[in-house]
Structure 1
Amino acid sequence: MTTTPHPADPAPDGRSTRWDQHRAARRRELVDATLRAVRQHGAGVGMDDIAAVAGTSKTVIYRHFTDRQGLYAAVSESVDALILRNLVQATGAAGDDLTSADSSPRALVAGAIDAYLTLVEKDPEVYRFVVTAPLLDQSSGDPAAPVTGHIAAQMSLVIAEALARAGRDTAPAKVWGAGLVGMVRAAADQWLAGSDAMTRLELTEHLTDLAWGGLCAAWPGETR
């Protein structure tokens, strides 16, 4: 029986590829414009303000993001990537391997905490926008969960590696990573509200002291 060979896959349509690239570039431009609008008008920025800063109409924005939730998701992903990049740099790792940090374990935890607080300090309105999500229906749960979830996952990898090297069960790593991020987020929200005049470095040190009291169990031989 002779098998008829399948025809080769058709070559990509150049016009379609260029259009996809154009759409991706335009989406990035609109995300950047949204961030500028947030910084200019505050976390409670409206769609009219965003459209004005972008130099376009709300209709065009919705054409690229479907709705307000789509725009918020794109902005959130951008901020998420920034925090994760800073987190990787803070832990002294290359690429996705967060286990090769050269600094001490306590300094690694401090660096991770400071990476989160740095965004809060440098871009407070953007942070508020991501955390409070004024564009969204507030009945849909925690809008910042994807961002904090990704950060917690990265920290869990670091903790799990430390537990594994110590010959210990890595099961607590996921819970400890989530707990660390939750603690930092709650403290960051209070700090941003201006309840005290504590500096970022002071807050980082206090949170590191609190976190390290428990996390040092993952690094036997390290002092509290």
Structure 2
Amino acid sequence: MTKPQQDAGDGRAARWRGQREKRRSEFVERALVAIDEEGPDVSVATMAVYAEVARTRIYRHFDDSTDLKNAVARRVAAMMLLEYAPVITVDGAPHAILTRAARTHLDWVTEHANLYRYLMSFSPAAGEVRRAISTAVSDMLHPYLDALGAPTTATPLANALIGMVESVSAEWIDRPGGTDVGALTEQLAAWAWALVDTTMRSRGAVLDPDSPLPAPGDLRT
């Protein structure tokens, strides 16, 4: 039989863990505001100002500055994934799918440029979000490439698409060079389609970019 003292101790520990997680979440939310307004190089001291606490109070809930910064970066990654999940789909024509995905990404990095820069500066979280998006895109492409006898091509193609969009958009948010979001969306969609089309044609399949995607088993060759 559990002793009353043990029950009380376990209850206090659970309440402390819950309170700690709540406070961590609150600090991360205020850090997001600080980064958004002050830039990706914002210090922990500035984050503490936005949280309206002494800097030392933050370290009651985080192991160190790296723990805090990684928690913030992972929250940004989660925000991105939540936004992108609905557009990683095969519903519609290829050009429409690629345009929708490119525009979603560009709209997000435009609205949250400093958060995006912050995320990209932390390799563990940046790597995690890249892998998550790559896996989703690869899973979308895999049935088609499997039907064409090239299932192992799905992941490299997904990585190529993501790498292109990421590198182009990262440069664009710092140096747009007169290119607006609509024009860049169309360029990215066209370049992405060129990669997909070339890959499909190399396996004997020809797709119409403006017609709904067929089922993988109905690919026109």
TM-score, length-normalised on structure 1? 0.79
1:3-18 paired onto structure 2 within 5 Å: 13-18=10-15
Runs of 4+ residues deviating >4 angstroms: none
Residue 161, structure 1, aligned to residue 143, structure 2: yes
Q: Is the 8 A contact 2:74 2:125 kept in 1?
A: no
1:68 corresponds, among 65, 69, 93, to 65
TM-score, length-normalised on structure 2? 0.80
* Whole-angstrom distance in 2 between the partners of 1:120 and 1:169: 33
Q: Is the 8 A contact 2:119 2:126 kept in 1?
A: yes
Q: What is the DSSP-based 3-state SS (H/G/I as helix, E as strand, rest coil) of the residue aligned with 1:13?
A: helix
* Whole-angstrom distance in 2 between the partners of 1:43 and 1:32: 15
- Report the alpha carbon displacement of residue 218 of structure 1 after superposing the two structures with TM: 4.5
| Residue 152 of structure 1: aligned partner | 134
Q: Which runs of 5+ in 1 are unaligned?
A: 1-6, 93-100, 134-140
Q: Which has the higher helix share?
A: 2
Q: Is the 8 A contact 1:87 1:111 kept in 2?
A: no
- Report the alpha carbon displacement of residue 142 of structure 1 after superposing the two structures with TM: 7.4
Residue 223, structure 1, aligned to residue 208, structure 2: yes
Residue 192, structure 1, aligned to residue 181, structure 2: no
| Residue 159 of structure 2: aligned partner | 178
Identity %: 27
* Whole-angstrom distance in 2 between the partners of 1:87 and 1:199: 21
Residue 24, structure 1, aligned to residue 21, structure 2: yes
Q: What is the DSSP-based 3-state SS (H/G/I as helix, E as strand, rest coil) of the residue aligned with 2:53?
A: coil
| Residue 96 of structure 2: aligned partner | 107
Aligned residues: 201
- Report the alpha carbon displacement of residue 121 of structure 1 after superposing the two structures with TM: 0.5
Residue 79, structure 1, aligned to residue 60, structure 2: no
Q: Deviations over 1:123-177 (max 9, x none)?
A: 11111111235xxxxxxx676222222222221111113323x343210111111
Q: Is the 8 A contact 1:156 1:176 kept in 2?
A: yes
- Report the alpha carbon displacement of residue 14 of structure 1 after superposing the two structures with TM: 3.0
| Residue 121 of structure 1: aligned partner | 110
Q: Is the 8 A contact 1:159 1:218 kept in 2?
A: no
Q: Is the 8 A contact 2:34 2:50 kept in 1?
A: yes
| Residue 48 of structure 1: aligned partner | 45
Q: Which runs of 5+ in 2 are unaligned?
A: 210-221
| Residue 91 of structure 1: aligned partner | 88
Q: Is the 8 A contact 1:91 1:111 kept in 2?
A: no
Q: Which amino acid aligns with 2:97?
A: L
Q: Is the 8 A contact 2:88 2:137 kept in 1?
A: no
